[in-house]
Structures are given as C-alpha cells and as structure tokens.
Structure 1
Amino acid sequence: MMLEQMANGIGIPVVFIENLANAASYEYKTYTIRKRSGGLRTIHHPSRRLKALQRWLLANVIQNFPVHLAATAYAPGRSIFKNASVHATSRYLLRMDFTDFFPSITQNDVRSYVNTNTRFFEGWNSTDVNAFCNLISRNGVLTIGAPTSPAISNALCYDLDARLELFCSKSGVTYTRYADDLFFSADRSGTLRQIEEGVLRIVSELEIPRCLVINRAKTRHSSKRGTRRVTGIVLGSDGKPHIGRTLKRKIRASIHQFAALDDAGKDSLAGLIAFAVGFDPDFLNSLIKKYGLAAVRIAMKKPSAKTGGKPL
C-alpha cells in the first residue's frame, strides 16, 4: 500500500522505488565538516532521487508520528530559544549527550517502532516495511545528512523523553532534549548530581532505541554562579537567554574569512547570523556598520538555497 501511494504521489513506477530501496545504501555521497568544538563530523548526503523519496516519506508518513513535548528540536513551533528559555530561571543546570546519536538508531529500532505503533502503518505489508527501513537508513543505521533522520529520531525517542520527564518531575527537575543534547535544571543544590545515575539506567533499559549510550566525558554541571549554556545560548543571571560574546565573535570572524569558507561553512554562517539577529536585532546593525550592507547580505544567503529542482 505504501509503495503504491508513494509511486502515485511522485509519479514513478513502484519497481523504481523497490530497486532504489534495495540499493539505497549506495546512494550517498560522504564527506566531512569541521565541528565548532573541533574534530570532524561525517555527513552522508543522499542522492537527489533518494532524497526525493525520503522527503515524500517525511511529509506523508513520518510527520504523523507523535513527538514528546520535552523534545525541542526538529518539530514545528520548537526551537533552540524555547529549549533554553525553559531552563533560564533555574539555579543549576546539567547537560548530558549521546555518543553518535543518529548512527545509534538502527533499522531494528525502526522495525520495533512499526510493530508497536501499528495505527500509523495500516495496510502496510512486509515489502512496504522493508522499503521504508531501507530508504531512511544507510547500512542499517540513521545518518547525518538524510532529511528523514531528525524526525525519525524524535519519534523513536518518545519513550525516552516520557520516562525521563516522569523521573525528573518526581525530583522537581525540568527536562528537555534538543536532538542528542539532554538538559536538566533545578533550584536545589545537589539534586542534579543525584539524578545522573537514574538517567543512565533509563537509557540502558530502553527497548527503542536499544543502542543509545551517554557520552559521560561530555557531562557538564553549571550554576548561576558561573556560565550556563544551553545549545549555544547563555543563560544570564537575570533569568533571560542571551546569545553571548563567543557566538558574536565567531560570526564576525567568519564574515572576515568569508572567501575561504566552503558551501557548508557559508550555510552555517547564514544560519548563525539569522539566529543571532533573532535574539539581538541591534547586532545586525553592528555587522553592517563594520562590514557593509553588501557583505552582510551575501553572508546571510545560504548557498544551498540556490539549488533548483531537477527531475529524478
């Protein structure tokens, strides 16, 4: 049923979709980009024809899956700002994150999700399920680069979010998750250190996804006496979120070195400027004063926005 709906919706034969699904792992271009924190991030970018099928699945199937309110990324009406605002007035903050988040979510996790949420897959047969799993994964796992990975990860982490929120609420702790970053805040000293082991236990007991692992080396505690950061946003002692000097310096340096940036770097810069200006409109005026209107306009334009649609 799903394959026929996709074929009719896109206007291609079912056999084309089946063949592409069977060979989907070979339909990616792999490259690396530098992380802000240092090191390299591997991107697996799907081919144009595979991405078209993934986008159809995203719009017609995956976006129907429920997302927990504690998940603040990859969903309409949710944002980095909202994620930070939830924790802004609390005195203490704990940040934890996962090791290799997307690749830790497997085809087996997706199949388990299908089997336990049959209301979203009515009329599907085993061929539909196999094609779905193959089209949204590479070599059996989710990838950074596929447009379906963020929404799928949110859906499959619903139980994680529900269990962590319930666990935290019993201790007066506020919990949110932004992609692979977990944030916990509280007003009582020592509360957040007490919940760490509980978080590790809940993650280890999950049925879906089964292979998530907390990167304990990146666990961070902070308080109002120091600097509290939530997904790049500084939480001020005034109980309000601020973009902070570090991000402003990064943007200025990137504009200064704009000619040396690749397309991924220019995309990132455009997003950072839009994000920063959303918090602090006066920052845009300071950039224009320093670099000129023409240079700032160029820096705010994403190269990826230039790509036109081509047939499969």
Structure 2
Amino acid sequence: MSQKISPLLINSLKLPVFETLEELSEITRLSTRLLYCLSKKTDRYYNVIEIPKRNGKMREISIPSYTLHIVQRWILMEILNKLVPSSSAMAFRKGDNFGHKQNAIYHADTLYGLAIDLKDFFPSITANKVYTLFSNLGYNHFAAAILTNLCTLDGRLPQGSACSPAISNIICMNMDKRLIGLCEKRGIRFSRYADDMYFSCDDKLLLLKNYPIIKKIIEDEGFLLNERKTHFHTPSNKKQITGITISPGKAENAVELKAPRKLKQKIRAEIFTCLMTGDYKNREHILGEIAYVEFIERENKYPYKDRIRHYIEEKSTKIQYFPELVQAYNENRFFKDMPLLEGK
C-alpha cells in the first residue's frame, strides 16, 4: 500500500498537494513526459561550467536548462519560500533584517570574532538530506523523490539551481539551532551567511574555548570546515565579515562599514576606461556596483557617492581636448545632475 500525503504541514503551510506524476503535471501545467524526463535524466538538462576562484582553483557552476529552471522556480515559489529558516540565517532572504550589511552590523560592536568557512557547501548537502526535507513536510515517497530529483544533480545540491540557496538554509536549520543554543548560553553572537559563519563576543578566551565544540557541531551535521579560511579577529586587526570591513569610526565608540577595497578599485578602473575610450556599454553595471558600495557605506561620514563624483570630475579633465570623448561623456554621464563637460 502506497504512502499517503501527511496533511498536517502540507495544509498548515498551504503547500501544493500531489501524489502522482499526473497530479504534478496538472498543478504545474507541464506534460507528464517532460516532468518524467526532467526528474529521471536530470544531468541532460544542465550545462556545467567552471569559473576561477580567488585562490586560482575552479568553481563548478551547474546551469539548468530553461525548462528545468522554470520547474525549479515553481518549487521555490510554491514550497521552499513558505518555509522559514533559522533566525541566524542571513543569506538568501528578503527584508531589512537580512543580507551582507545586517550580518556585519550584528557583530560590529564586539571586540573579538571567529570567522568560519564551510568547505564545498552546496555539494555537502546530499540528495538524501533533500529527500528527508520534503518527506518531513508531509510528501509521500513518490512526491518527495520527484522533488528531490528535480532539485539535485548527481546526488548533490548543485550550485546554480534556483532551489539550492533556499534548500541549504532549511537543511542547515538543525545545525543553526544547535549553534544558537550553544552561543546564547555563553553570551556569543552567531550568524551564518550561506557558507560563511561568524561568532563574536568581548572575551577572546571564550571564543577559543568554544571553537572545538563549534567545530564538532558543524561536523556532526555533515559539513567540513575550510581550515585555511578560519580566522580569529582581535581589536588590533580589522574585522571582515562577508566581504565588509568593520573599522573604528570618527566619533567615540562608533564604527564604519566599508565595502571591499578591490571592488572600489575595480569601479574606478572601469570608470577610467569609459572616460578614456568613450565606450560606456558597461555604464549600468558600474552604476549597480556604485549603488552597492553606497548602500554599505551610507552611514559613514564621507558618502561614497560624493567621493566617486569627485573622482569622475577630476579624471574627466583629461579628455577635454578630445571632442569625441567629450560628446560620449556628456551623453552617458554617470550622474545626470553632473555638469556637462566643455571641450577645449
């Protein structure tokens, strides 16, 4: 006798109900044949590429086909987004209380920090764990297996799938809760931004003492630490949390958040290239990068937007003798309220 849908969580979360491929087909409005192929021959529907990492090694990205992406988006919107991750999960969530900046702010006024990176984060999450997730929601064996197949590749969570970020947050809930329990008892702050974990307090010895316990909990949950990226931060060195540097502010007891220096150097180089070549095809991309830095550094004494405007005004004087470059500059000003450039 086949296992039936367990109605408790399904109904309370208003999740889509299906027990057969035909019922899933009716809900998604995709043919049973297509759904069968997507779930049974998943590897055919991915384009696997490699991109370089900072350390020179390659990172594997699995890009789903358009059709598989549509199905994964449906799973994300109709199922996964209705599940609430732990309070310590700061990535892949909407709202003012989450994200890079809030993650850094949470630890800004503590003296000591412990940064931990989880090794091979997405591939560490197996298909068995994903199946258990869907099964625990109340889906029967068939439904949980179909959903698992649609979300995994070669028995792992692929980096590149629309579902992987949300699934990783839910899979990590038990680990997060164990670490929250440990840290709350000891007066340690804890947050996790995807595979980047951060622990902070005002007692260096407390962090050092609890590091082995933290490591054991992480390994118990099926993850490994990237020892090369594990760092202790003290008041004598700048804390860097998910790429954001925390530095002392100008006022007493104040702190400033600073976006990555390499990103700001990249923005300046990109702007300089635009000015010197007259090619502004990357203008919108550059404006997006500027907006990100401005968002991170908004509360600082010297606004980033003012500094980058000054840089543009300074460098634009170098092109005043070239009419074509002056014309391109005036037609593609990065900020519309900047004055037109006059040629000489």
Query: Which TM-score tier does this pair reach, normalised by the shorter chain?
Result: 0.7 to 0.9
2:106 paired with 1:86: yes
- Pick which of 36-45 and 4-13 moved more: 4-13
Matched, 1:285 2:303: no
Counting matched residue pairs gives 282
Task: Give 1:65's match in structure 2, choosing from 68, 76, 83.
Answer: 83
Deviation at 1:269, TM superposition (A): 6.3
Alpha carbons of structure 1 residues 235 and 67: separation in structure 2 relative to 1, 3 Å: same
1:250 deviates by 3.0
**Aligned residue in 2 for 1:307:** none
The match for 1:203 is 218
Q: 1:235 to 1:37 in 2, by over 3 A?
A: farther
Q: Does 1:189 align with 2:204?
A: yes
**CA shift at 1:245, angstroms?**
3.3
- Distance (Å, rounded) in 2 between the aligned partners of 1:222 and 1:95: 8
Cα distance between partner residues in 2 of 1:187 and 1:84: 16
Q: RMSD of the alignment, in Å?
A: 2.6
C-alpha spacing 1:256/1:129, structure 2 compared with 1 (3 Å): farther
Whichever residue aligns with residue 276 of structure 1, its letter is V
Alignment of 1:162-241 (within 5 A): 162-206=177-221, 211-237=222-248, 238-241=254-257
Select between 67-76 and 269-278 the one with higher mean Cα deviation. 269-278
Q: Distance in 1 between matches of 2:157 and 2:226?
A: 18
Structure 1 pair 111/9, CA: closer, same or farther in 2 (3 Å)?
closer
- CA distance 1:286–1:40, change in 2 (3 Å): farther
2:154 is the alignment partner of 1:136: no
**Does 1:33 find its partner at 2:51?**
yes
Deviation at residue 128 of structure 1 after TM alignment: 1.4
- Checking the alignment, whether the CA contact within 8 Å between 1:85 and 1:240 is kept in structure 2 is no
Tell me if structure 2 keeps the 8 A contact 1:84–1:230: yes
Q: 1:105 — aligned with what?
A: 125
| Structure with the larger RCO, 1 or 2 (CA within 8 Å, 6+ apart) | 1
In 2 relative to 1, CA 266–163 (structure 1 residues): closer, same or farther, beyond 3 Å?
Answer: farther
Whether the 8 Å CA contact 1:70–1:177 is kept in 2: the answer is yes
Return the offset for 1:110. Answer: 1.1
Q: Which amino acid aligns with 1:44?
A: S
Residue 308 (structure 1) aligns with? none
Matched, 1:275 2:292: yes
Query: Against the structure 1 CA distance between its residues 44 and 129, is the aligned structure 2 distance closer, same or farther, given a 3 Å change threshold?
Result: same
* 1:224–1:236 CA contact under 8 A, matched in 2: no
Aligned AA for 1:285? R
Distance 1:71 1:4, change over 3 A: farther
Residue 270 of structure 1 and its aligned partner are, at CA, apart by 6.7
Counterpart code for 2:35:
I
Question: For structure 1, which runs of at least 5 residues remain unmatched after alignment?
Answer: 259-264, 298-312
SS at match of 1:170: helix
After superposition, what is the alpha-carbon deviation per residue over 1:98-144, rounded to whole angstroms, capped at 9, x for unaligned? 110000001011122234x33xx3xx332211111111011010111
Say if 1:82 and 1:201 are closer, same or farther in 2 by CA, change over 3 A: same
SS in 1 for 2:160: coil
Secondary structure, counterpart of 2:113 in structure 1: strand
For 1:138 and 1:213, the matched residues in 2 are separated by 20
Q: TM-score, normalised by structure 2?
A: 0.74
1:7 corresponds to 2:25: yes
Identical positions, percent: 30
Structure-2 residue corresponding to 1:309? none
Q: Tell whether the 8 Å contact from 2:119 to 2:224 is kept in structure 1 after alignment.
A: yes
* Aligned-partner Cα distance in 1 for 2:31–2:173: 34
Give the counterpart letter for 2:223 in structure 1: L
Give, as a single letter, the amino acid of the residue that structure 2 aligns with 1:12.
L
Deviations 1:137-195 (A, max 9, x none): 11010111111100000000001111111111222110000000000111112221111
Structure 1, residues 187-229: CA drift from partner, whole Å, max 9, x if none?
11222111110111111222xxxx3111112100112221110
Q: What TM-score comes out, normalization by structure 1 length?
A: 0.81
